[in-house]
Structure 1
Amino acid sequence: MAGDLPRLLLGGLAAFAAYFAMYAFRKPLAVAGWTDVGFHPFGLDYKTALVIVQVVGYAASKLIGIRVMAEFGRIGRASVIFGLISISWACLIAFALLPPVLGLACILMNGFALGMIWGLVFSYLEGRRTTELLGAMLCGAFILASGVVKSAGALLLQEGVPEHWMPAATGLPFFPVLILSLWLLERMPAPSAADEAERTPRRPMDKTERAAFLQAHGLPMALLTASYIVLTAMRDFRDNFAAELWTALGMGGSAAVFSASELPVAVIALGALAGLILVRDNVKAMLAMHGVIMLGGALLGLGTLAFQAGLLGPMPWMILAGAGLYLAYLPFNAMLFDRMIAVLGRTANAGFLIYIADTAGYAGSIALLLWRSLFAPAADWVPLFIAFAHVAAVLIIVLTGISALYFWRRAGQKRGIPDCLT
């Protein structure tokens, strides 16, 4: 592994850059207010409608991706990634040119095109002894990129770029980054024999194999997916309405606030997750990840209580809440299912499991958006976020704790320890 380590680290940076570039075609949309648009579909304000249809497109893509990611091989990944992101940019141009009602369809297709990117990029990294480190590098993209590209979009708006053209204008400069990163990813070495011996070989799964995997391991998948639904809904709510939250907290005048709040979040969350590479035993690593997820839920809940008690100001609270959310959220997107496959000893691929969780997670995100828009449209942003944070913290800890107990008992049974002692 030592000889390949520089190339692997370069591949991790390339994965980070590729996914960072993808965010430039997805997230700038959320920084604008769209208050001048008179079109209110189904009684929703236009921004909420845009966010919902983009997430619907993203979720639909994830649903299709359950099969696509399970069966996709190593050939043609870079071309597919570039093609999908190019389609998403074309949708942003069409959005700027067409009337609002058709603009919704454009953003729906934008989300649909981008929903496959994570699984395709992560497929370069999975099944390696360095997956935790490489996955942490990749996960850094959707912490940092969200804030950076929204800051970029806000700056373009301040410079006079029209709202409808701002998303497409933000994405354009990221094409060279995307092309270079894909070129580097294609040159990553394949998982070695030692990687496969420790982490289980990764290969496409047909329909029968997918059904057999879920039938055998449905309980932990259901528990973890339920926890991920809560996390995705909370993370998307914080991410898509960051502008409104910062304005309600009295800090909405600065474009830099989006980036300033996310850099500490990335350092805290990614540092903790990268350290899991030091845990060689797959069962211990799996349980450690459950502990990290529960710690994230605790930080979210306790940080919110501290803000309510006046012990934290707005910026420290948003950083701590973000760190808690991402500590809990990130393992699902890289390390957790990769280690699960190794623990269970079944030949599979992590993309299949990630996309099952993602599909359910984005359905939860859509449900939260609709609930807020239809049943609490006049609710203040900060109290609403506080209420959601407390509910989410409890659910994350309870659901993940039960899943951890499942794997702990399973490990004890494999070692021949009686159930009463596990």
Structure 2
Amino acid sequence: MPSTTSFSPRQVSVAVYTAAVAFLTYACIFAYRKAFTVATFDGQAFWGIKYQTLLIISQGLGYMASKFYGIKFISELKRLGRWKTSALLIGAAWLCLLLFALVPAPWGIVCLFGNGFMLGFMWGIIFSYAEGRRATDFIGAAMAVSFVFAGGFTRSVAVWLRDSWHVAESWLGFTTGLVFALPLIIFMYLLERVPAPDEADIKERSMRLPMTRDDRKNFLRLFGGGVVAVVITYLFLTIMRDVRDNFMANMWNELGYGQKPAIFTRTETITSVVVLVIMSLLVVIRKNIRALRLIHWVIVAGFLIAGIASALFLMGAMAGVLWMQLAGLGLYMGYIPFNCIYFERLIAAFRITGNVGFLIYIADAWGYLGSMLVMLTKEIAGLQLTWTQFYPTSVVIFSAIGIVTTIFSLIYFNRKYRVLTPDKEN
């Protein structure tokens, strides 16, 4: 959290308020996205692919489609009326979950495609309340770890509804959304009351404005090489994160913890706290280019932790619970900076006219495309591997590639900074 030596009491209170509300809002939204994944739909398959996998892929394709469209939609987003847009999108996503409960298989895949498409815009909308502030690192970190925590917590709620209230698998998504509906309304109202960035924020982090088509083209023309490296890095992080997130229940089942719903919340809460502390500490680094350099090394460290832990698990030298914990910690150390800090500091360092949403949605679009291709490959190719074999093997390979691309982007943006702002380099 920002220190009082450089932030006024009001700025500290605004930062804490915004971080708390953004965290809680996005955690509630996650209930409409991932709760259904605790349902395994055993015995159901279509076109040679398990129904559960088809549902996850269908939702992911919808999410991916929204990311590609969101490159334009989010980058051009106006500040007024954001709550109305959010209400329409979340309401439509919830309606899709109701239809999913009512229609017979395999038509549920259509419903979850719609659900994913609607929810895919929500990250960019909510982050627009947080960007462009001196405390954005802290606020963004709190918001980003919400999906680490919420991924476990909302699944625990879904398992509780299934086991204690005997809710049918097809109704788990809609019913979990019902549990979180009132809290979400309250938090969206509180989010609308977040004050705009003040003059000190704008001076240090630059004014955030909607981007035109020409603005987007100019940015890619100037930083295209670095963007490609970042997208490749984020591609592998998204694959690792998304497969773990979507098939977490399957992996815990294979490890013997399928009947212990608290395992989801306990492990993900620990990861959330550790990552939040690491990311929040970046707020004390005032010089944006220095923070950007350090973020690269945090991402490299994340790849190393996830890759080494997975290699040890495959060799039988690490217990499954510890492996899941360390693999999650490592991948989120790499994944979360791109969702809250990396692009924020990049824009601030180079004084770019625009907003973070444009860059996040470029990376997300290609990241989710890669995630879908990996899941389809496993099913269509008929790989005879359990998730606790397939996933750690993939993590080892992707971590090695990710380290290379991360170091490349570090070198690229360092050189760009020296060329474009030679008077500021020290």
Q: TM-score range by the shorter chain?
A: over 0.9
The yes-or-no answer on 1:104 pairing with 2:137 is: no
Q: CA deviation at 1:251?
A: 2.0
Residue number in structure 1 paired with 2:119: 114
1:27 CA displacement: 0.4
Matched with 2:357 is: 351
Query: Structure 2 matches for 1:77-96, cutoff 5 A?
Result: 77-96=82-101
- The range that moved more, 182-191 or 128-137, is 182-191
Whether 1:185 and 2:197 are equivalent positions in the alignment is no
Q: CA deviation at 1:311?
A: 4.0
Alignment of 1:14-29 (within 5 A): 14-29=21-36
User: Which of 387, 392, 417 is matched with 1:411 structurally?
Assistant: 417
**Could you say which residue in structure 2 is the equivalent of 1:218?**
224
1:372 pairs, out of 362, 375, 378, with 378
> Which whole-Å CA distance do the structure 2 matches of 1:175 and 1:187 have between them?
19
Question: Alpha-carbon deviation of 1:408?
Answer: 2.1
Give runs of ≥4 in structure 1 deviating > 6 Å.
none
Which residue is 1:175 aligned to?
181
Q: Return the offset for 1:102.
A: 2.2
Shift of 1:309: 4.3
Contact residue 8 and residue 188 of structure 1 kept, 8 A: no
Amino acid at match of 1:269: V
Using structure 2 for the length normalisation, give the TM-score: 0.95
Deviations 1:63-118 (A, max 9, x none): 11100111111111112112211111111111111111321111110101100000
Contact preservation (8 Å) 1:201, 1:347: yes
For the 8 Å contact 1:4–1:189, the answer to whether it is kept is no
- Residues 354-380 of structure 1: CA distance to partner in whole angstroms, max 9, x if unpaired? 000010000011011101111134312
Partner residue of 2:211? 205
Preserved contact between residue 10 and residue 184 of structure 1 (Cα < 8 Å): no
The 1-side partners of 2:167 and 2:189 are apart by 32
Which segments of 5 or more consecutive residues in structure 1 lack a partner in the other structure?
Answer: none
* CA deviation string 1:179-207 (max 9, x = no partner): 11111111111111111111111000111
User: What amino acid maps onto 1:62 in structure 2?
Assistant: K
Secondary structure, aligned partner of 2:207: coil
Q: Distance in 2 between matches of 1:305 and 1:379?
A: 16
What is the rounded CA distance, in whole Å, between the counterparts of 2:48 and 2:214 in structure 1?
44
Alignment partner, residue 200 of structure 2: 194
Deviation string, structure 1 residues 361-401 (Cα, Å, up to 9, x no partner): 00011011101111134312212112101111101110000
More moved, 168-177 vs 306-315: 306-315
> CA shift at 1:165, angstroms?
0.9
* 2-structure distance, mates of 1:395, 1:15: 33
2:334 aligns with: 328
| Pair 1:312-2:318 in alignment | yes
Aligned to 2:68: 63
Is the aligned partner of 1:284 residue 2:284?
no
Do the aligned partners of 1:92 and 1:106 also contact (CA within 8 Å) in 2? yes
Q: 1:36 to 1:96 in 2, by over 3 A?
A: farther
- Unaligned ranges ≥5, structure 2: 1-6
Root-mean-square deviation over aligned CA pairs: 1.5
Partner of 1:46: 51
Where does residue 127 of structure 1 map in the other structure?
A: 132
Residue 243 (structure 1) aligned to one of 230, 243, 249: 249
Find out whether 1:13 has 2:20 as its counterpart: yes
Separation in 1, partners of 2:39, 2:55: 11
Letter in 2 for 1:18: T
How much does 1:269 deviate?
1.4
| Mean Cα deviation higher: 52-61 or 262-271 | 262-271
Query: Does the aligned pair in 2 maintain the 1:306–1:312 contact within 8 Å?
Result: yes
Shift of 1:414: 5.3
Q: C-alpha distance in 2, partners of 1:273/1:50?
A: 33
TM-score (norm 1): 0.96
Aligned position for 2:394: 388
Whole-angstrom distance in 2 between the partners of 1:107 and 1:346: 37
The number of residues matched between the two structures is 416
Q: Percent identity?
A: 37
Q: Report the Cα offset of residue 307 of structure 1.
A: 2.5
The Cα of 1:412 is off from its aligned counterpart by 3.7
Cα distance in 1 for residues equivalent to 2:84 and 2:37: 28
Q: Could you tell me how far apart the structure 2 residues matched to 1:410 and 1:97 are?
A: 54
Residues 409, 233 of structure 1: CA spacing in aligned structure 2 closer, same or farther, 3 A cutoff?
A: same
Please say which of residues 58-67 and 299-308 is displaced more in the overlay. Answer: 299-308
| Separation in 2, partners of 1:81, 1:241 | 28
How many Å separate the matches in 2 of 1:213 and 1:86? 34
State how far apart, in whole Å, the 1-side matches of 2:43 and 2:315 are.
37
| Alpha carbons of structure 1 residues 99 and 309: separation in structure 2 relative to 1, 3 Å | closer
Residue 291 (structure 2) pairs with residue 253 (structure 1): no
Indicate whether 1:295 and 2:301 are aligned. yes
Q: Which residue of 2 aligns with 1:142?
A: 147
Alpha-carbon separation, structure 2, partners of 1:18 and 1:330: 17
